[in-house]
Structure 1
Amino acid sequence: MIRLLARALREHAQEFSRPERHPELGPFCTYLQRRYKKPLQELPPEAWEEGLLEYVAEIIAEGWDEYGAPSAARSPEGHYLASAETPEGPLTVTAESKREAYRKARREWARRLLG
């Protein structure tokens, strides 16, 4: 999926003379230029793919360092509660099983980091 998205980003970026100044594409294009120390037009599709994978991985790793990972525990009422800190503030979810609560919290935690 990331590889397909990277290809689409590359194709879209080719529509602009200065994609690094584009409001949505800019941060990623700047990241690629710094990472590979080449103009965007010289980067092969594989560089865009690897660059996007690394970009997403860095966001997740930095979020993990800054906010920590979600955790889950049983509530006194018997259901499971998972919580985490995110850039948007605290996150809390409930579920019938610990695994499901933790899964829901991880998914939302990642969504907020990548949003």
Structure 2
Amino acid sequence: MIRRLAGVLWALAQTLPDPERDPDLGPFCTYLRQRYGRHPLALCPKEWEEGLLDLIAEAIAEGWDRYGAPSAARDPEGEGFIASFEGPWEPFTVRAQSKREAYREARKAWVRRLLG
């Protein structure tokens, strides 16, 4: 999935005279320039893929350090389980029949917030 997305971004950048000036693609292109020390258009699709993977991994690791990961436990108010996290933004809570399901839904919401 990331390989395809990076390939689409790389192909889009090839159509732009200066992708670093593009309001949407520019910040990622600047990140790539800083990471590799070359203009983003001089990079191959594999380098775009690696850069995108590293950027995503950095955002998740930073969020984990800053906010901690979601946690799950038995719901004290009834049957099932509850999972929650404190940030980013307002606290989040989800209830589900299984601990795995509650934790999975909380993790998905947490990663979406970190990457959003």
TM-score of the pair, normalised by structure 2: 0.93
Q: Which residue in the other structure is 1:98 paired with?
A: 99
1:49 and 2:49 equivalent?
A: yes
SS of the residue corresponding to residue 83 of structure 2 reads strand
1:16 and 2:26 equivalent?
A: no
SS of the residue corresponding to residue 38 of structure 1 reads coil
4+ long deviations beyond 4 Å: none
Note the 1:26-105 alignment, pairs <5 A: 26-76=26-76, 77-105=78-106
Measured against aligned partners, the alpha-carbon deviations of 1:66-92 in whole angstroms (never above 9, x if no partner) come to 111000111221221100123232111
Q: Kindly provide the amino acid, as one letter, of the partner of residue 5 in structure 2.
A: L
Task: Report how many residues are paired.
Answer: 115
TM-score of the pair, normalised by structure 1: 0.94
